[in-house]
Structure 1
């Protein structure tokens, strides 16, 4: 639980850096950021609402445990994202630097969540589902989905910042692709251990 909270905090901090640089990113987080620039609705509320349809997908494709873990992760990111502007001073970086730093920090947070059997919903649920069922590369799937989200977000941040945003998406996707095998192995091992435990329990 502590490790998961740390992953959520890192992700929230990365998003905080992106927002301070007026940069968007991919997935439901990026979509929520884009809309928050246009409407007087907080990122936290938007992030929660946008993820609801993906919770349903996760429930049927990934099971209850993964779904509840994802709901918890999204809730923690939402909570941390609400608290960071209160706790920390306003941070503004040059867009390219903010994109690189934010993308790298979000990438670390996302990998921590994946390796602990959770996600941040949205494209990540889709990426994990396709990786498990068809062995599709998680990073590439995520990159395609995220690029589409950023193209939508160009309206809110402009073309130049939109291009900077793609940098953050590329960094996150590259990190996911790099750790893909470790993530898959970790989740497989955890699943095997849980299955063995269930078998032993029923045997007793």
Structure 2
């Protein structure tokens, strides 16, 4: 297992360590953003990229809840996380995964929306997802899934997380061609672009400590 010290995000300000309170608050915000974003997309019948998109896609054929599918799809990625990303990152990601599964189920009980325009759902939902993923990444955690792979690629090879995530998302959308109508597929693509725009613009080396 790799040492946590060798896997620090290149954007982390190494001069100021996060406290436990900082990490908990950042992870809570990430979970909140993602849970709301997912439910906005779900209300409009859209999918998105990454593990959430895979769960939403499987949801078309399964009676299991999205929260449960999200957790199950994440299992192989969590195994990869444990092998490649270090103990601290893995434990944080597992905690986020459990919290997000529960929060995704809770949001519809706390907030009921009768109508969401597809454009609003795509742009705002996608942006919320990107904000959530970014908040988690800044505190050495992720939602698991393909996000673990993209963060590992950025740490090891310097490949921008947003760009690699976009490529993986394209694979998810290719599979969705079998299920979604063209209008929903186009709106879903817009949501994925909104999400990855957040990562490509803000998840860069030095951006966190003001060096770029």
Q: TM-score range by the shorter chain?
A: 0.7 to 0.9
**Which residue of 80, 84, 94 corresponds with 1:71?**
94
Tell me the TM-score normalised to structure 2 length.
0.83
RMSD of the TM alignment (CA)? 1.6
- SS of residue in 2 equivalent to 1:157: coil
Correspondence 1:158 to 2:203: no
Indicate whether 1:43 and 2:66 are aligned.
yes
Where do residues 161-176 of structure 1 align in structure 2 (5 Å cutoff)? 161-176=184-199
CA distance in 2, matches of 1:150, 1:92: 24
Quote the residue 1:147 is aligned against. Answer: 170
User: Partners of 1:183 and 1:146 in 2: how far apart?
Assistant: 26
Check 1:18–1:39 CA distance in 2 against 1; reply closer, same or farther (3 A cut): same
User: Distance in 1 between the 2:109 and 2:28 partners?
Assistant: 19
- Write the distance in 1 (CA, Å) between the matches of 2:208 and 2:25: 21
In the alignment, structure 2 segments of 5+ residues that lack a partner are 1-23
Q: Counterpart of 1:38 in 2: which secondary structure?
A: coil
8 Å CA contact 1:26–1:150 kept in 2: the answer is: yes
Structure 1 equivalent of residue 4 of structure 2: none
Instruction: Count how many residue pairs are aligned between Structure 1 and Structure 2.
Output: 186
Where structure 1 has 5 or more consecutive residues not aligned to the other structure, the ranges are: 187-204
Aligned to 1:115: 138
Q: Distance in 2 between matches of 1:20 and 1:40?
A: 17
In structure 1, the residue matched to 2:3 is: none
Asked if the contact 2:160–2:204 (Cα under 8 Å) also holds between the matched residues in 1, the reply is no
Q: TM-score, normalised by structure 1?
A: 0.86
Shift in CA distance, 91/63, structure 1 to aligned 2, threshold 3 Å: farther
Residues 66-145 of structure 1 aligned to structure 2 (within 5 Å): 66-145=89-168
Distance, in Å, in 2 between the alignment partners of 1:182 and 1:5 is 23
